[in-house]
Structure 1
């Protein structure tokens, strides 16, 4: 719990501070006085005022932060100082100030994704497993051992890239074109139709449901117990199992299931040892589980190593691909929001701070790179959320500015106040709803 909370605070602090820096720099550019830049909310624990009159503060609740510009001219201030209030700026200047926050959110994602693509990531090679009958992949003619080379005309190198390219068509039920290479090196294109999804996507494996999964690695002997059936059959550390019985090119999961299903039966194995193929016979010993069912055991631990590659790009290509990935992710988020509004997807897909904390902790446990990638995903979400034209969010303020530019005058103050009340009420409702969803997940 504390682990998740720590990485949640880190995530929110990085994402929100970068977002607010956008507002801060834009305000400074247009000579708006920034009264306070706070990391966190509530009681101020530490503060320092710079030469521009901005109070930099650390507050008690480390759940984000805020920038407080001078809203209206202070009583008795000089004309020059009065002009530093945000209300005295042109609609276009205020539009830029409000829009700079979401822009910086997207910029942070681009920086993260660019860095990851420049430094490189190790990914499994996208060799596909034999799809189950009646799945979308099976109907499209995908075979076990096919390697994904491109998705909808976009080249992919590793499995993560393939999954990312397929995320939107999987979630929206769209058709996709895959360029595949079979084990003999021949290439072909297949068209795959993904069924439309509905309800909640929480815990749903869309790739698996479509029949798209990594081909399981071949089993290699990692450990042999003394006096076990495997040792008596002649198995040694490092042996690669190629075939078992009539199962050719058997995977580690299929081999374990095959052994367990055949207690006290002699099973022929074809193995590779030092690049030499050998035939062995092993007889699994029967052991009984809690239900009294006989399970075959041979006293051997198997390991499997997926073939991997390092996906790396040059600086300029990385920046381009990172920019595309950022805005594809933002557009996908908007599509999913639209599906929730129209009832095609459940509102239970909305996550709150508890879920974000859980995901932050999980990603951090996987590795630093996955945690940083999670931060990129959250900063895109913050950018998209703030662009929604709801009064009280940056997007709502930007709409007020656009209306003022068109009308040549601001909306009546009473209209703006009522709009803000509606906007804040809606945001409060969404916040409560997200908390309820989080609690329901926990329970």
Structure 2
């Protein structure tokens, strides 16, 4: 329940931030260009909080349904406008002014992403070095030549300092390149080029498990089986286990790492386990009986002791991508631009059927990602916000009526014709756009539900 609540709160916070950024773009540019703003709303439906500015009369609202927002401007098409205020009405503005106000929302989403990526690059983007662990027999990775200990240096000549960059570049390059050249450095220090067929890579990534579907498992350091905290009154404490004890054997079986020990304990609830532990160089024989814990329809063993994680455990596996303040500007601009192009290309491939719609992410997936990224730390949550902000910017610029891109498309037609479009044409266009948007949202929900139901 706590996890669900945390995910929900993270999702709402993320939506509120991104919606506020988008709508503030419309609001700020409208004000700067002399258009009167009547209401600035985050969310739809019943107002939870509202405040009216005594300076300009703008009403600021936080509403109950946090799935969008809007900026209501003075407009003669919606209500009569007094003669002295008509010059501040949106519909009275030039085509250029109206276009600037409309495009400002997506533009601010891109600017937010650039700022977020800049902060990440300046402070250091931390990830795991792309060192290969297990390679599944018969997998695509094994057929390409990958072996345990290989470090992936580049994909299609693009440096890949982290596993995240490996996945991103693979997906990006796979859209246009039939065979991906992957440069690796083996454990012996020799560099090799492996060829990975890119056909079907987007399909392998549908469930967010591209690496696993390729047959690659990221290498992880071995966590020593050393006891950390021991809970009072639990079996570990009653058996005499202490912080710093290293589990050497259990029932005569050597314990190599912490996961071996945990798996052994979990499978033997209520059974007496004979241990040999190393305590400051002295070998001691102890016995412990794990408690039987019921959960998720099964029982498992627990002794009430945590692992002692060495401070330098991840040093050899951690990679930090960091730039100076000036260089980070260029990197953040490139990252935002490249991510935008990737999303457009993926959408185009989906439309023509070359990429599965299962790559779509709906509100359920986004909420899940929001909760996970927030639990990892502010840097991960900021990166999540940047990626979703780019997505919102790209989505809103699509030429679909109801969206900002649809308004810009209408403005383009108006510019070509030399006169405003009829109200009837605009109304029909809005209805069509709404149907298209509802169809996309329904499809995204369907994909989400199938993804989570397996």
The question of 1:334 aligning with 2:339 is answered no
Instruction: Say which is worse superposed, 395-404 or 323-332, in terms of deviation.
Output: 323-332
The question of 1:14 aligning with 2:44 is answered no
The question of 1:418 aligning with 2:428 is answered yes
Shift of 1:132: 3.1
Compared with structure 1, are the counterparts of its residues 60 and 218 closer, same or farther at alpha carbon in structure 2 (3 Å cutoff)? Answer: closer
Shift of 1:99: 1.1
- Equivalent position of 2:183 in the other structure: 179
Partner of residue 388 from structure 1, selected from 391, 394, 398: 398
Instruction: Say which is worse superposed, 407-416 or 311-320, in terms of deviation.
Output: 407-416
Compared with structure 1, are the counterparts of its residues 53 and 87 closer, same or farther at alpha carbon in structure 2 (3 Å cutoff)? Answer: same
Compared with structure 1, are the counterparts of its residues 434 and 50 closer, same or farther at alpha carbon in structure 2 (3 Å cutoff)? Answer: farther
- Equivalent position of 1:212 in the other structure: 216
The question of 1:4 aligning with 2:7 is answered yes
Instruction: Say which is worse superposed, 129-138 or 59-68, in terms of deviation.
Output: 129-138
- Structure 1: how far apart are the matches of 2:409 and 2:54? 32
- Equivalent position of 2:269 in the other structure: none
Q: Secondary structure at the match of 2:216?
A: coil
- Equivalent position of 2:110 in the other structure: 106
Q: What aligned pairs does 1:17-416 form with structure 2 within 5 A after superposition?
A: 17-44=20-47, 45-72=49-76, 75=80, 77-78=82-83, 81-129=85-133, 131-169=135-173, 174-197=178-201, 201-218=205-222, 220-223=224-227, 237=246, 305-306=313-314, 307-416=317-426
Query: What is the CA deviation profile of residues 210-265 of structure 1, one whole-angstrom value per residue up to 9, with x for unaligned ones?
Result: 23332232453424999xxxx9xxxx8499xxxx99xxxx99889999xxxxxxxx
Q: Secondary structure at the match of 2:14?
A: helix
Q: Secondary structure at the match of 2:68?
A: strand
Shift of 1:36: 0.9
Compared with structure 1, are the counterparts of its residues 351 and 146 closer, same or farther at alpha carbon in structure 2 (3 Å cutoff)? Answer: closer
Shift of 1:204: 4.6
Contact 1:179 1:187 in 2 (8 A): yes
Compared with structure 1, are the counterparts of its residues 220 and 313 closer, same or farther at alpha carbon in structure 2 (3 Å cutoff)? Answer: same
Contact 2:45 2:63 in 1 (8 A): yes
Compared with structure 1, are the counterparts of its residues 132 and 319 closer, same or farther at alpha carbon in structure 2 (3 Å cutoff)? Answer: same
Shift of 1:68: 1.0
Contact 1:216 1:251 in 2 (8 A): no
Compared with structure 1, are the counterparts of its residues 71 and 175 closer, same or farther at alpha carbon in structure 2 (3 Å cutoff)? Answer: farther
Instruction: Say which is worse superposed, 328-337 or 384-393, in terms of deviation.
Output: 328-337
Shift of 1:10: 0.4
- Structure 2: how far apart are the matches of 1:363 and 1:411? 45
- The two structures, once aligned, show a CA RMSD in angstroms of 4.0
Q: With the length of structure 1 as denominator, give the TM-score of the two structures.
A: 0.76
Contact 2:125 2:321 in 1 (8 A): yes
Instruction: Say which is worse superposed, 167-176 or 113-122, in terms of deviation.
Output: 167-176
Contact 2:225 2:258 in 1 (8 A): no
Compared with structure 1, are the counterparts of its residues 176 and 17 closer, same or farther at alpha carbon in structure 2 (3 Å cutoff)? Answer: same
- Structure 1: how far apart are the matches of 2:406 and 2:172? 27
Shift of 1:85: 1.4
- Structure 2: how far apart are the matches of 1:338 and 1:124? 31
Compared with structure 1, are the counterparts of its residues 155 and 358 closer, same or farther at alpha carbon in structure 2 (3 Å cutoff)? Answer: closer
Contact 1:170 1:207 in 2 (8 A): no
- Structure 1: how far apart are the matches of 2:427 and 2:51? 32
- Equivalent position of 1:284 in the other structure: none
Instruction: Say which is worse superposed, 54-63 or 419-428, in terms of deviation.
Output: 54-63
Compared with structure 1, are the counterparts of its residues 331 and 50 closer, same or farther at alpha carbon in structure 2 (3 Å cutoff)? Answer: farther
- Structure 2: how far apart are the matches of 1:328 and 1:357? 24
Name stretches of at least 5 consecutive residues in structure 1 with no aligned partner.
258-272, 275-300
Contact 1:145 1:183 in 2 (8 A): yes
- Structure 1: how far apart are the matches of 2:44 and 2:27? 17
Query: What is the CA deviation profile of residues 317-358 of structure 1, one whole-angstrom value per residue up to 9, with x for unaligned ones?
Result: 222222222222222222332233223444344333233223
Q: Secondary structure at the match of 1:213?
A: strand
Shift of 1:130: 5.3
Name stretches of at least 5 consecutive residues in structure 2 with no aligned partner.
229-234, 264-279, 282-306
Shift of 1:112: 1.1
